[in-house]
A and B are shown apart, each in its own frame.
Chain A
Amino acid sequence: MNATFWNNLYWLVKREFWEHRGGFFWAPVITGGIFLLLNLMGIITAEVLGASHGIHIGANGGLRHVIEQMDAGDMSRVGFALDIAMYSAMGLLIVVLGFVVFFYCLGALYDDRRDRSILFWKSLPISDASTVLSKVISATVLAPVIAVIVGVIAGVLQLLMVVVTLSFHGLNVWQLLGYAHPFRVLTNLVGYIPLYVLWALPAVGWLMLCSAWARSKPFLWAVALPVATGLLVTWFGIMGLFNQSPLWFWHNIVQRALFSVFPGTGSMFGLNAEGLARHSGNNFDDMGLGLMNLSNTYQLLGSPALWIGVLAGIALLAGATWFRRWRDEA
């Protein structure tokens, strides 16, 4: 772990960004832009329609509620609605990020073998382990960080849009902003990234292993192998031997190998239903956003599923590194 190692790693990650600027940077920026544009159009439509009919109709459902709640004097619900406005921008970005990371991992150790530029990269004094590590970092840290930055900017713009719209209805902008929790939203999103690294590791490992191993069509291999295994397991009832239903296999192997790269899936199928019920509680505030609170998302750290996944991910990445080193194209 000397200076050369970190220097090489920095430049390798930078190289990944150069190559995948489209997926890592432009995809979230364009998604965020479209999201804001659609919302703006929605608000304008609603305002115009509302004005012509002489009644108040909220732009995207939430607005009308907010106004009603303002009337009812329930300020905590106003803050909740405004936070939702901020998170909503991130929601779309998260889906896009999942797809970007999924396909990035599949191509990471395959594309340069296909176009033979691997011979150029391999002519430089860089170890294959560093190369693989730089790609893991790009997928699990660089891409999410960019998505969060874009998401927060889009979220703040969305928040301002909602607040300004409300101010047309005689509400005070500054007072409204005081109800929102932009910094809590920011902390929750940024704080989620380390957990995402751990949760995504088995899927990143599996996809990169296929990427390093497949002679062609890594996507097909990556998807077909776990699904075919799942079907066999279900068909022959192998899980019965361990007193588990076949669903266990689909849930813990197939799903983890393929979909863990989608952020938020850790909260969705990492915790069991019982856990979710306990966390959500009866409080209205907790129902939606409680899930986003770090104290809740980090409950996952206590689940063996996460740590077994991390170990499996590391083993798969070691395999990917081995194939990267020795895969002979001749």
Chain B
Amino acid sequence: MSAVITATGLSKHYKQTAALDNVSFSIEPGRIVGLIGPNGAGKTTALKAILGLTDFTGKLDVLGYDPRQQRDKLMGEVCFIADVAVLPRWIRVREAVDFVAHVHPRFDRAKCDAFLARTKLQPNQRVRQMSKGMIVQLHLALVMAIDARLLILDEPTLGLDILYRKQFYQNLLEDYFDENKTIIVTTHQVEEVEHILTDLMFIRDGRIVLDADMEAVGERFIEVLVNADQATAARQLKPIDEHQVFGKSIFLFDGVPKEQLQALGETRRPSISDLFVATMKGTYA
């Protein structure tokens, strides 16, 4: 199958800073891609370019459309949830469902109603009367009822309590995702998406610094728990990160063969957050 998104030489400048600096990548269907980077790294700009919300230079193909020229058609097959605050505060649950049902050709009302029935949302309730978690539930109900090929989530769980956050990703996986759909998610709460991602993209200062599927990440990056007497030997293998826990050192290696590392101590797969911190070292310095 052909790629859902193909970007070649994508650039976007805001005054002096480069939000995207000659970025190229491609995303295959049926993947859940985590786009992860520090604040101001260009994540949102990349998503906006994909959604045709901002101008850019370079080539970008999303589902066969050019987002700059064919945005209206593109939005028939793409959904997105950006942050939690974007549903208009005056709208009622009933009105929101009615409106989307009538303007979106791929909307399945029964599915939406079924999802809403599992929440505490009332048809006459206005968004301004809802908690943040409830707003996301409504937005998710609307989005999950749309049979879109690409779903883009920009910090979807920002400001939610842990119950809502867990439920959000659970719903997404159980009731929405399948091999024909693709999800791109940006978040700072990396631990929560760690287990659902199939692909990982790190972005820093407008450049993609890591673009790999999770299996490749597991093979390439290895964390080793090293006793103090072995530490010097470990340092000679040029770890990308080192920190101390209970008198032992934890080293993170990039591309060093596993057999070699097992000699030094207990090896394990690093968490995405550790990998992220190591990769982004010095970002704000």
Contact = CB atoms under 8 A, between A and B. Distances in A.
A52 interface: no
A241 interface: no
Contacts of B25: none
B73 to A, nearest CB: 7
B54 interface: yes
Contacts of B81: 123
A125 B80 contact: no
A7 B75 contact: no
B102 A7 contact: yes
A18 interface: yes
A115 interface: yes
B96 to A, nearest CB: 9
B86 A330 contact: no
A328 B55 contact: yes
B198 interface: no
Interface residues of A, number: 27
B54 A117 contact: no
B24 interface: no
Contact of B73 (A7, A112, A125): A125
B88 A120 contact: yes
Nearest to A18: B95
Question: Which of B55, B73, B102, B103 has the most CB atoms of chain A within a 10 A radius of its CB?
Answer: B103
Contact of A126 (B87, B89, B90, B103): B103
Contacts of A112: 88
B83 A116 contact: yes
B249 interface: no
B91 A328 contact: no
A326 B49 CA distance: 11
Interface in A117-173: 117-127
B137 interface: no
B72 A117 contact: no
Contacts of A7: 102-103
Contact of A330 (B44, B71, B85, B103): B44
Contact of B87 (A14, A18, A19, A117): A117
A112 B127 CA distance: 14
A14 B89 CA distance: 17
Contacts of B71: 127, 325
Nearest to B92: A18
A138 to B, nearest CB: 15
A11 B95 CA distance: 10
B79 interface: yes
A122 B104 CA distance: 12
A4 B105 CA distance: 9
Interface in A11-44: 11-12, 14-15, 18-19
Interface residues of B, number: 37
B14 interface: yes
A293 interface: no
Given A125-B73, A330-B14, A11 B99 contact: yes
A145 B4 CA distance: 47
A8 B104 CA distance: 9
A124 B100 contact: yes
B27 to A, nearest CB: 19
B48 interface: yes
Interface string B95-122: 1000110111100000000000000000
Given A115-B89, A117-B87, A124 B54 contact: no
B130 interface: no
A15 to B, nearest CB: 6
B23 interface: no
Given A18-B90, A123-B80, A11 B102 contact: yes
A124 B77 CA distance: 9
A328 B56 CA distance: 12
A112 B86 CA distance: 9
Given A112-B88, A328-B48, 9 more contacts: A11-B99, A12-B103, A115-B85, A119-B86, A123-B51, A123-B80, A125-B74, A126-B103, A330-B54
24 contacts: A7-B103, A11-B99, A15-B95, A18-B92, A19-B91, A115-B89, A119-B86, A120-B86, A121-B88, A122-B53, A123-B75, A123-B79, A124-B103, A125-B74, A125-B76, A125-B104, A125-B105, A126-B72, A126-B75, A127-B71, A328-B48, A330-B14, A330-B45, A330-B48
Interface of B: 14, 19, 44-45, 48, 51, 53-55, 71-76, 78-83, 85-92, 95, 99-100, 102-105, 139
